[in-house]
């Protein structure tokens, strides 16, 4: 039985050695549930096919369908040129200058249609490290397949015939839960070092094993990431952090030695016990939210990742004589300035991070109008969630978080009670301590009754 299974897999591998011809699998062999395919994706492939073109779902969508997961988006590959695609749909937009793709819209739904790419990377212009700079020729389907990153990301599904076309043994790798890069690993990483991050993301997200040859060059080639335009690294980092397995991804990044160039300060943070605990908590709560389908803000994520760096500088500025609030702003500036370049933090994200950080000392002012003002802050929820993380990590006293939880939930009178700092039982402790002195010690009895009667 096992022998037969192995033979089947090996047999399949031999068949796909010729990467210009696909292995075709019918619905019984691959088991894709057509219900998981978006009707709009079917509309697009159907329209293209009726106009005489070839059209398939491709990439992550096919991989997810084969794993029985509902894909979050659908990419389509076709032999029609972008102009030809655009003409077939009412709301279609050609995007990109160098390699054009078409965005086809149906209501809120966006489908990305890409013309098969040609395999011209040999002659394509490269930088001095071998990274491909421009590569924009159209080609055959098998050429398109060979340019994709992993075997499991290089399959094509035709919703009409329900056939899967597999050029690189992707089906076998899906079944073995193996992540395998197409072609010679070193060469593929050199062409595009972002693939180093993608390996980690897919391995952690899908819980796949990285094939030995795919894995081997990662640590050595890690520094190539520094060469990639920051905006691309940022996009890929964001995908990684929003994958629902951010914690696992980050652990794997560290294991592969890939985190150094990415968040230059993160390794320092992770080596401090408090920082590590904070990042861990932040990422596991992010993962939980994503797994529950709740939204996650990139600003909150990056604010968490870099918080302990801010704390360190905040403390240093205060030690140098700065007041707490300006010291925090200076610390935030320093951290944002040093990270913006590396991470290409978009302005909106950086400003969200600053808001979340700047709110933190305001939570400590529990007198007068301050807490009420904070309640009206547009980003209160994010700031408060952040405060709770600080409590949970042991950075600050849990009492502050509990107080704010109570304050946010309370009604008007309840808030007054909380502000007065009076324990709910109305006992004699708390602010009452101060009063006898102010009033010249004339009987606690009277004070207490005054407090009860008046506001």
Q: Catalytic residue numbers?
A: 73, 75, 149
Identify what 312 binds: Mg ion, ligand ATP, none; CB under 5 to 8 Å per kind: none
DSSP-assigned letters across all residues of 7-26: HHHHHHHHHTTSTTS-EEE-
Phi, psi of 169 (to 5 degrees): 70, 30
Q: Which stretch binds ligand ATP (CB under 6 A): 190-198, 251-259, 273-281, 437-445?
A: 190-198
CB-wise, 9 or 242, nearer to ligand ATP? 242
* Contact call for residue 60 and ligand ATP (CB under 6 A): yes
Within residues 238-267, the interface with ligand ATP by CB under 6 A covers 239
- Strand, coil or helix: what is 18? coil
* Contact call for residue 59 and ligand ATP (CB under 6 A): yes
* Contact call for residue 101 and Mg ion (CB under 5 A): no
| CB within 8 Å of 112: residues ≥ 6 apart | 73, 74, 75, 76, 101, 102, 103, 104
Give the count of beta carbons closer than 10 Å to the beta carbon of residue 229. Answer: 11
| Per-residue contact flags (x/-) with Mg ion for residues 46 to 85, judged by CB under 5 A | --------------x-------------------------
Which residue do the tokens 């704010």 mark?
A: 404
Minimum distance, C-beta of residue 142 to Mg ion, in the bound complex (Å): 21
Q: What does DSSP assign to residue 226?
A: G
Provide the token pair at 390. Answer: 């600080």
Q: How many Cα atoms are found within 13 Å in the side-chain-facing hemisphere of 82?
A: 18
* Contact call for residue 103 and Mg ion (CB under 5 A): no
Minimum distance, C-beta of residue 31 to ligand ATP, in the bound complex (Å): 19
* Contact call for residue 75 and ligand ATP (CB under 6 A): yes
Q: How far is 291 from 298, CA to CA, in rounded Å? A: 16
Minimum distance, C-beta of residue 403 to Mg ion, in the bound complex (Å): 43
Identify what 354 binds: ligand ATP, Mg ion, none; CB under 5 to 8 Å per kind: none
CB-wise, 108 or 445, nearer to ligand ATP? 108
Q: How far is 345 from 348, CA to CA, in rounded Å? A: 8
Provide the token pair at 356. Answer: 């979340």
* Contact call for residue 195 and ligand ATP (CB under 6 A): yes
CB-wise, 152 or 330, nearer to ligand ATP? 152
* Contact call for residue 181 and ligand ATP (CB under 6 A): no
Minimum distance, C-beta of residue 154 to ligand ATP, in the bound complex (Å): 6
Minimum distance, C-beta of residue 176 to ligand ATP, in the bound complex (Å): 18
| Per-residue contact flags (x/-) with Mg ion for residues 410 to 439, judged by CB under 5 A | ------------------------------
CB-wise, 28 or 98, nearer to ligand ATP? 98
Which residue has the CB atom at the shortest distance from ligand ATP?
Answer: 60
Which residue has the CB atom at the shortest distance from Mg ion?
Answer: 60
* Contact call for residue 135 and ligand ATP (CB under 6 A): no
| Residue ranges with strand state E in 122-194 | 155-158, 163-166, 178-179
Closest CA to 401 of 431, 370, 360, 355: 360
Query: Can you tell me which of 117, 131, 148, 259 binds ligand ATP, judged by CB under 6 A?
Result: 148
User: Helices 380-392 and 298-319, interaxial angle, to 10°?
Assistant: 60
Closest CA to 324 of 313, 309, 335: 313
The β-bridge partners of 209 are 178
**Three-point CA angle 314, 241, 220, nearest 5°:** 95
Minimum distance, C-beta of residue 295 to Mg ion, in the bound complex (Å): 18
Q: How far is 6 from 22, CA to CA, in rounded Å? A: 20
Minimum distance, C-beta of residue 416 to ligand ATP, in the bound complex (Å): 50
Judge contact between 111 and 104, C-beta under 8 A: yes
Residues of this chain that interact with Mg ion (CB under 5 A) are 60
List interacting residues with ligand ATP (CB under 6 A). 59-60, 75, 148-149, 153-154, 192, 194-195, 239
């Amino acid at each position: 039985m096992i022998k037969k299974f192995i033979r089947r897999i090996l047999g399949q591998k031999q068949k796909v050695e010729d990467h210009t011809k696909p292995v075709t699998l019918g619905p019984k062999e691959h088991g894709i549930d057509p219900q998981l395919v978006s009707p709009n994706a079917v509309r697009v492939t159907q329209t293209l096919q009726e106009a005489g073109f070839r059209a398939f779902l491709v990439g992550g969508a096919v991989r997810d369908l084969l794993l029985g997961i509902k894909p979050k988006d659908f990419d389509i590959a076709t032999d029609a040129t972008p102009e030809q695609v655009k003409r077939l749909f009412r709301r279609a937009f050609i995007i990109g200058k160098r390699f054009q793709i078409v965005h086809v819209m149906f209501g809120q739904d966006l489908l990305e249609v890409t013309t098969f790419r040609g395999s011209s990377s040999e002659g394509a212009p490269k930088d001095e490290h071998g990274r491909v700079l421009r590569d924009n020729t159209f080609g055959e389907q098998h050429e398109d397949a060979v340019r994709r990153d992993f075997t499991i990301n290089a399959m094509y599904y035709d919703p009409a015939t329900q056939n899967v076309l597999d050029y690189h043994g992707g089906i076998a790798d899906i079944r073995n839960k193996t992540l395998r890069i197409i072609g010679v690993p070193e060469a593929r990483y050199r062409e595009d070092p972002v693939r180093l991050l993608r390996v980690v993301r897919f391995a952690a997200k899908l819980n796949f094993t990285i094939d030995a040859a795919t894995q081997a060059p990662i640590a050595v080639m890690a520094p190539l990431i520094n060469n990639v335009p920051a905006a691309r690294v940022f996009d890929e980092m964001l995908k990684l952090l929003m994958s629902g397995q951010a914690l696992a991804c980050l652990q794997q990044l560290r294991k592969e030695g890939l985190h150094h160039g990415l968040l230059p300060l993160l390794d320092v943070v992770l080596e401090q016990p408090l920082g590590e605990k904070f990042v861990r908590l932040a990422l596991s709560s992010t993962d939980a939210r994503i797994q529950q389908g709740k939204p996650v803000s990139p600003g909150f994520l990056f604010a968490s990742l870099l918080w302990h760096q801010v704390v360190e500088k905040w403390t240093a500025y205060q030690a140098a004589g700065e007041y707490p609030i300006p010291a925090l702003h200076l610390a935030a500036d320093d951290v944002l300035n040093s990270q913006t370049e590396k991470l290409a933090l978009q302005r909106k994200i950086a400003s969200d991070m600053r808001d979340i950080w700047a709110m933190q000392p305001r939570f400590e002012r529990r007198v007068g109008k301050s807490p009420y003002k904070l309640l009206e802050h547009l980003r209160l929820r994010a700031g408060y969630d952040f405060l709770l993380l600080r409590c949970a990590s042991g950075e600050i006293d849990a009492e502050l978080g509990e107080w704010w939880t109570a304050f946010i939930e309370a009604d008007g009178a309840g808030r007054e009670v909380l502000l007065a700092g009076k324990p709910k039982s109305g006992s004699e402790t708390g602010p009452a301590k101060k009063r006898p002195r102010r009033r010249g010690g004339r009987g606690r009895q009277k004070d207490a009754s005054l407090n009860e009667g008046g506001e």
